[in-house]
């Protein structure tokens, strides 16, 4: 009825998407098990001498069903103590509760089996269709020379198929040779002989490497960052089925061939392992041993550019970082190989991510050997730093039991014919992570970031931050991963923190957190101008280059007020430490010093939902002092978080009626909000604590001399989507931002 696989599915892998789909399936149909039980305890315990009585059914009340369903979502397998507590609370017998949970688990298992049967049936239909097409092709052979029907007896069918395959391979060889110089910047000597072209062993090459290109990466490269890969166990893995012969990325303009992608993936994996090696000469440690700098000369000596020479005017940034994360290796690998889950794990960094094509799903039902092409927009929370758009391949490989590596490397596509500009102003050299399982569900993650980018498109204020490796560096990925995994662990826990002084149910907490997640995501899109949301940029000369103003018309999005929405954002340098600035902005008692929504007085925190161990990582519900009775209908939803790389304070006014629905566990997608807020980054200048922008323990304003403060506002300038934007509206939001910055500086007593 229930097995270990179900338990692992529910609690071990932190697959929020799968859990959501399972919970959605629960409401597709309702069987009688939700509303009635088998015979009661009195009926079952009767002796043989009693007359046989008619089977009696018990229909639960809607309240009982609601409570049982809510408990089932949290714990599908209650123990005796939990069943007894439920029976007392719901006025049911212990056996009735036990039977209800048994029936509910059986129902879920049936739904899963039905879904699996549907998928298998679809796959069977697909195979039947393919089989029919193959039979038709075999019954009507075509001559390879003239294109006409083949004459029976002239050649055997097997010989005919061999000739067709030979012609296809020759054509594939010619295309690869023609693209070799353009793609890799050098000819591929191994392709001078058609016999060197990979055919049926491509999957094996991804699994264990190719001789001469990446083949030694798994067996001869020293271990990265002190990881123990154990004995070599990769030589006996089976070949990988389903390798796709070609990949179309831009229609008929460019064809990236399978062999080139495999070569590039294996070379990138070999480079990743060498760059994450613990005592690698590629990194030079500082005198105190706390920092390390990238050795450009050693890198140029060891590696030839796998994606061609560095473009003129580009500069290089390379960083690596190691951290302990509360997630197991399999769950992290699955997250990285899924574009949507990857973006959800790094919400403030990944504006948008999509899988363009899958070359291989892996071997033996695992991600070992998985290779896919992806597109991503990587952002820094400031309008003065353009979003990094990069198209790359992502390759995953298992090196030992509990040890995985995931590597990315850019694919050069050429130029955008419409704009006559490069598709991307940056290149992602082999970058990625090594993940090793640790006890108690933790993992040791070593992250490497290696970029080449055009510094001319970056504002002067942010160039030190990027050149120091803080802006897009490895420590930012590790810090975000640690914070997100800690939040997931808290949400998956059935216990509620003692700091959470709310009466919210688990469903209410999840709905509130989902609403806050959407609020922060919309704030980031308004600041960074990514393609995650449709914005039209406005170029107004009087505002200068430091202010980014955009507008969008909302007609049918229920999560945003209808009408014309104006977004404005800018970034300034503040001579205050990041910790002090963050504490000031998130303190509801000091909010009246800069926020016009506070009605001139301190705000009161009504709800506090912790998202991490630090007090600043939370979702809050604030209420301002009401000037009159009508002002009590508006509350402030606020999310704040801080890690070693960035600090964020995002808020939005929300009406009480909508929040009551969310706090009771209702759908948050229909709550309209316009977010505003702040993003705080270190300024990137070196100090006694180093250039990596991390804080000393305890904070207290000792993390450097200054911070980069980004201020963003989104306001509704007209409730009619057909209305036109006026200059007065732009001036209003511009004055609002300027006034807010001046008030913050005045309160902190800085110029």
* 3-state SS string for 621-653: EEECCCCCHHHHHEEEEEEEEECCCCEEEEEEE
- In terms of DSSP H, where are the helices of 428-550? 463-467, 474-492, 506-528
No. of helices (H) and no. of strands (E), the chain: 18, 23
Of 104-108, 573-577, 598-602, the range with the lowest mean pLDDT is: 598-602
Q: Are residues 448 and 509 in the same domain?
A: no
Total Cβ atoms within 10 A of residue 443 = 26
The pLDDT of residue 653: 92
Q: What 3-state class would DSSP assign to 452?
A: strand
| Any domain includes 443 | yes
Question: Which pLDDT does position 575 carry in this prediction?
Answer: 93
Q: Rounded to whole angstroms, how far apart are CA atoms 434 and 127?
A: 38
Secondary structure of residue 718 in the 3-state scheme: strand
**What pLDDT is stored for residue 412 in this prediction?**
65
- Cα 584 to Cα 600: distance, rounded to the nearest angstrom: 16
pLDDT above 60: residue 421: no
With a cut of 70, say whether residue 337 has pLDDT above it: yes
Last residue of a domain, one of 442, 457, 489: 489
Report, as an integer, the average pLDDT of 601-607: 85
Both 283 and 318 in one domain: the answer is yes
**pLDDT at 336 > cutoff 90:** yes
> Per-residue pLDDT tens for 168-195?
787 777 767 666 655 554 455 443 443 3
Region 540-550 average pLDDT? 76
Q: Minimal CA–CA distance to 341: which of 696, 15, 698?
A: 15
Q: Calculate mean pLDDT across residues 125-153.
A: 72
Helix (H, G, I), strand (E, B) or coil at 101: helix
- Which pLDDT does position 543 carry in this prediction? 66
Q: How far apart are CA 630 and CA 205, in angstroms?
A: 69
- Longest Cα–Cα distance of the chain, Å, equals 98
Of 489, 518, 537, the residue at which a domain comes to its end is: 489
Q: Which residues contact 534 (CB under 8 A, 6 or more apart)?
A: 552
- Asked if residue 122 is part of any domain, the answer here is no
Interval 85-91 mean pLDDT: 88
Asked whether the beta carbons of 274 and 302 are under 8 A apart, the reply is: yes
Q: Is 440 left (phi over 0), alpha (psi -120 to 50) or beta?
A: left
pLDDT of residue 23: 43
Considering 162-166, 244-248, 435-439, 703-707, the range whose residues carry the highest mean pLDDT is 435-439
What is the rounded distance in angstroms from the CA atom of residue 508 to the CA atom of residue 505?
5
- pLDDT surpassing 80 at residue 452: yes
Going by C-alpha positions, the residue among 581, 574, 536, 565 that lies closest to residue 733 is 565
Give 414's Cβ-side CA count (13 Å radius): 11
- In the predicted model, is pLDDT for residue 289 greater than 50? yes
577 and 447 within one domain: no
**What is the pairing mode between strands 371-378 and 350-360?**
antiparallel
Q: How far apart are CA 28 and CA 22, in angstroms?
A: 10
pLDDT at 695: 37
Residue 319 has pLDDT above 90, yes or no: yes
Q: CA 633: distance to chain centroid?
A: 35
- Residue 190 included in any domain: no
Q: Is residue 622 part of a domain?
A: yes
pLDDT confidence of residue 56? 57
Same domain, 481 and 534: no
User: How far is it, in rounded angstroms, from Cα 550 to Cα 369?
Assistant: 43
pLDDT band with cut points at 50, 70 and 90 for residue 276: very high
* Confidence at residue 631, expressed as pLDDT on a 0 to 100 scale: 54
Kindly state the percentage of the chain with pLDDT values over 90: 33
**CATH number reported for the structural domain that contains residue 517 in this entry:** 3.30.530.20
| CB of 610 closer than 8 Å to CB of 618 | yes
The answer to whether 489 and 326 have CB atoms below 8 angstroms apart is yes
Question: Residues 92-106: what's their mean pLDDT?
Answer: 90
| HSE value, Cβ hemisphere, 13 Å, CA-based, for 203 | 18
Statement to judge: residues 324 and 371 lie in one domain: yes
**Stronger pLDDT, 175 or 91, i.e. the higher one:** 91
Statement to judge: residues 742 and 642 lie in one domain: yes
Helix axes 727-747, 578-586, angle to 10 degrees: 110
Query: CA nearest 451: which of 434, 464, 432, 433?
Result: 432
Q: Is residue 394 part of a domain?
A: yes
Q: Which pairing describes strands 371-378 and 563-574: parallel, antiparallel, or unpaired?
A: unpaired
Question: Which of 101-105, 151-155, 687-691 is the least confident region?
Answer: 687-691
pLDDT over 70, % of the chain: 71
- Burial status of residue 20 (CB atoms within 10 A of its CB: 0-12, 13-18, 19 or more): exposed
Residue 537 confidence (pLDDT): 82
Are 478 and 322 within 8 A, CB to CB?
Answer: yes
Do residue 510 and residue 636 come from a single domain?
Answer: yes
Which of 456, 489, 522 marks a domain boundary?
A: 489
Q: Do 445 and 530 belong together in one domain?
A: no
Tell me the angle at which helices 506-528 and 656-663 cross, rounded to the nearest 10 degrees. Answer: 130
* 547-554 and 426-428 strand pairing: unpaired
Quote the CA–CA distance of 383 and 457 in Å, as a whole number.
Answer: 12
- 483 and 530 co-located in one domain: no
Residue 232 covered by a domain = no
Report, as an integer, the average pLDDT of 667-676. 91
In which band, very low, low, confident or very high, does the pLDDT at 743 lie, cut at 50, 70 and 90? very high
The answer to whether the beta carbons of residues 561 and 554 sit under 8 Å apart is yes
pLDDT (0 to 100) of residue 217:
38
Please report the pLDDT score of residue 604 as a whole number. 87
Higher pLDDT, 528 or 596: 528
Query: What whole-number distance in Å separates Cα of residue 680 and Cα of residue 669?
Result: 28
With 0-12 CB in 10 A as exposed, 13-18 as middle and 19+ as buried, what is 421?
Answer: exposed
Asked if 679 and 728 sit in the same domain, the reply is: yes
Residue 499 to residues 313, 494, 609, 615, 616, Cα–Cα distance (Å):
52, 15, 8, 9, 12
Which of 404, 433, 477, 399 lies closest to 276, judged by CA? 433
Residue 237: per-residue pLDDT: 32
Paired sense of beta strands 283-285 and 292-294, if any: antiparallel
State the sign of the Cα–Cα–Cα–Cα dihedral 221, 222, 223, 225: negative
pLDDT at 286: 77
- Distance (Å, whole) CA 4 – CA 329: 20
- Where do runs of H (alpha helix) occur along 293-400? 296-302, 329-337, 339-345
Least confident of 191-200, 276-285, 446-455: 191-200
176 within some domain: no
DSSP-derived secondary structure letter, 51: P
| Mean predicted lDDT score pLDDT of the chain | 77
* Residues 660 and 532 placed together within one structural domain of the fold: yes
Task: Using CB atoms within 10 Å of the CB of residue 507, give its burial: 0 to 12 exposed, 13 to 18 middle, 19+ buried.
Answer: middle
Q: Which two tokens stand for residue 381?
A: 């929370």
Structurally, the chain folds into a number of domains equal to 3
pLDDT reading at 460 higher than 70: yes
Q: Closest Cα partner for 362 from 263, 247, 243?
A: 243
Cα separation, 424 vs 416, whole angstroms: 9
* Separation in Å, CA 186 to CA 91, 213, 447, 656: 77, 15, 29, 64
At 355-403, the pLDDT tens digits run: 998 888 888 888 999 999 999 999 999 999 999 999 999 999 999 999 9
Per-residue model confidence (pLDDT) at position 480: 94
pLDDT, greater one: 210 or 354: 354
Is the pLDDT assigned to residue 349 strictly greater than 90? yes
Over residues 212-237, the pLDDT tens digits come to 433 333 333 344 444 433 333 333 33
Identify the three-state secondary structure at position 273: helix
Instruction: Give domain status of residue 710, yes or no.
Output: yes
Q: Alpha-carbon distance 531 to 548, whole Å?
A: 15
Asked if residue 715 has pLDDT above 60, the reply is: yes
Same domain flag for 644 and 552: yes
Tell me which of 184 and 246 has the higher pLDDT: 184
Q: How far apart are CA 146 and CA 140, in angstroms?
A: 15
**CB within 8 Å of 271: residues ≥ 6 apart:** 303, 306, 407, 429, 430
**Tokens linked to 65:** 């069903």
CATH number at residue 94: 1.10.10.60
Top-ranked range on mean pLDDT: pick from 24-38, 324-338, 597-611: 324-338
381 vs 647: CA distance, rounded Å: 10
Of 49-63, 535-549, 551-565, least confident by mean pLDDT is: 49-63
- Domain of residue 369 covers 257-411+426-489
């Amino acid at each position: 009825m229930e097995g270990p696989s179900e338990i692992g599915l529910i609690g071990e892998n932190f697959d929020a998407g799968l859990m959501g789909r399972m919970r959605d399936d629960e409401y597709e149909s309702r069987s009688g098990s939700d509303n009635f039980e088998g015979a009661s305890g009195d009926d079952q315990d009767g002796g043989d001498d009693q007359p046989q009585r008619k089977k009696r059914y018990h229909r639960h009340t809607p309240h009982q069903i609601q409570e049982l369903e809510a408990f089932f979502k949290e714990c599908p397998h209650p123990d005796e103590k939990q069943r007894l507590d439920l029976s007392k609370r719901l006025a049911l017998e212990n056996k009735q509760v036990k039977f209800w949970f048994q029936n509910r688990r059986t129902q879920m298992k049936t739904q899963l089996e039905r879904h699996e049967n549907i998928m298998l049936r679809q796959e069977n239909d697909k195979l039947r269709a393919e089989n029919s097409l193959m039979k038709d092709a075999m019954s009507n052979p075509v001559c390879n020379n003239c294109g006409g029907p083949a004459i029976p007896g002239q050649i055997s069918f097997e010989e005919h198929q061999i000739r067709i395959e030979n012609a296809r391979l020759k054509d594939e060889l010619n295309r690869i040779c023609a693209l070799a110089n353009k793609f890799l910047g050098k000819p591929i000597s191994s392709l001078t002989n058609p016999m060197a072209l990979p055919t049926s062993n491509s999957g094996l090459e991804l699994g264990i490497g190719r001789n001469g290109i990446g083949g030694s990466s798994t067996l001869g490269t020293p271990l990265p960052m002190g990881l123990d890969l154990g004995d070599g166990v990769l030589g006996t893995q089976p070949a990988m089925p389903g390798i796709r012969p070609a990949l179309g990325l831009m229609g008929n303009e460019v064809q990236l061939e399978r062999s080139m992608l495999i070569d590039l993936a294996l070379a990138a994996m070999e480079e990743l392992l060498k760059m994450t090696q613990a005592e690698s000469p590629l990194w030079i440690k500082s005198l105190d041993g706390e920092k390390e700098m990238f050795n450009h000369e050693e890198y140029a000596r060891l590696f030839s550019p796998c994606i061609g020479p560095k473009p003129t005017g580009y500069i290089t940034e390379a960083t690596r970082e190691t951290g302990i994360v509360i997630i197991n290796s399999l769950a992290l690998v699955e997250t990285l190989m899924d574009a949507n889950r990857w973006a959800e794990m790094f919400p403030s960094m990944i504006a948008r991510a999509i899988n363009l094509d899958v070359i291989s799903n892996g071997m033996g039902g695992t991600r070992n050997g998985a290779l896919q092409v992806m597109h991503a927009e990587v952002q820094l929370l400031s309008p003065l730093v353009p979003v990094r758009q990069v198209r790359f391949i992502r390759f995953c490989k298992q090196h030992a039991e509990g040890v995985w590596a995931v590597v990315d490397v850019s694919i050069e596509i050429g130029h955008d014919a419409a704009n006559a500009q490069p598709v991307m102003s940056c290149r992602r050299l082999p970058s990625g992570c090594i993940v090793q399982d640790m006890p108690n569900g933790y993992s040791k993650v070593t992250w490497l970031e290696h970029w080449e980018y055009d510094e001319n498109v970056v504002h002067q204020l942010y160039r030190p931050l990027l050149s120091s490796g803080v802006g897009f560096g490895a420590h930012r990925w590790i810090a975000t991963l640690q914070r997100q995994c800690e939040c997931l662990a808290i949400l998956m826990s059935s216990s509620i923190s003692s700091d959470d002084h709310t009466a919210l149910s688990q469903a209410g907490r999840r709905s509130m957190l989902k609403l806050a997640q959407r609020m922060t995501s919309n704030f980031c899109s308004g600041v960074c101008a990514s393609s995650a949301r449709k914005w039209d940029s406005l170029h107004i000369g009087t505002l200068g280059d430091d202010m980014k103003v955009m507008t969008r018309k909302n007609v049918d999005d229920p999560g945003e007020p209808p009408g014309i929405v104006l977004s404005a954002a800018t970034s300034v340098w503040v001579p205050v430490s990041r910790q002090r600035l963050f504490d000031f902005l998130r303190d509801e008692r000091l909010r009246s010093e800069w926020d016009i929504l506070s009605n001139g007085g301190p705000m009161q925190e009504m709800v506090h939902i912790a998202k991490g161990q630090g007090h600043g990582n939370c979702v809050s519900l604030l209420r301002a002092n009401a000037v009159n009775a009508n002002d009590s209908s508006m509350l402030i939803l606020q999310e704040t978080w801080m890690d070693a790389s960035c600090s964020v304070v995002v808020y939005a006014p929300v009406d009480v009626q909508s929040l009551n629905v969310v706090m009771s566990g209702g759908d948050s997608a229909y709550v309209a909000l316009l977010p505003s807020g702040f993003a705080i980054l270190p300024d990137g200048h070196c100090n006694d604590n180093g250039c990596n922008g991390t804080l000393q323990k305890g904070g207290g304003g000792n993390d450097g001399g200054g911070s980069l403060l980004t201020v963003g506002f989104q306001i509704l300038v007209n409730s009619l989507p057909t209305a036109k934007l006026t200059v007065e509206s732009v001036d209003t939001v511009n004055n609002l931002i300027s006034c807010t910055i001046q008030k913050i500086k005045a309160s902190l007593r800085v110029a």
